[in-house]
């Protein structure tokens, strides 16, 4: 199973829930802040993503989209 995520960095508030939740270590916090002044989550190891969608489930800002087999989940 292979997945892919898209993080909408301008919606992100940098809570790190997704970073802490991803079992594959795909997501990290960026050092440069976004327009709202938060340090957003970004994809670092996208090749490890399984498409489990746990990151999107915990995100309070609905900032993460998950794709699996090229379909939106």
Nearer to ligand SF4, 31 or 63 (CB): 63
The backbone torsions φ and ψ at residue 65, rounded to the nearest 5 degrees and listed phi first, read -110, 140
Q: How far apart are CA 47 and CA 35, in angstroms?
A: 28
Nearer to ligand SF4, 5 or 33 (CB): 5
Binding site for ligand SF4 (CB under 6 A): 3, 5, 7, 12-18, 21-22, 24, 26-27, 40-41, 49-55, 58-61, 63-64, 66
Closest distance to ligand SF4 from the beta carbon of 50 (Å): 4
Q: Rounded to the nearest 5 degrees, what angle is found at the Cα of 30, between the Cα atoms of 67 and 56? A: 30
Residues paired with residue 31 on neighbouring β-strands, in sequence order: none
């Amino acid at each position: 199973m292979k997945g892919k995520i898209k993080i909408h960095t301008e919606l992100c508030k940098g809570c790190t829930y997704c970073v802490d939740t991803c079992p594959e270590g795909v997501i990290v916090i960026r050092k440069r802040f976004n327009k709202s002044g938060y340090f957003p989550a970004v994809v670092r190891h996208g090749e490890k993503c399984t498409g489990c969608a746990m990151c999107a489930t915990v995100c309070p800002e609905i900032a993460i989209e998950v794709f699996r087999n090229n379909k939106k989940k």
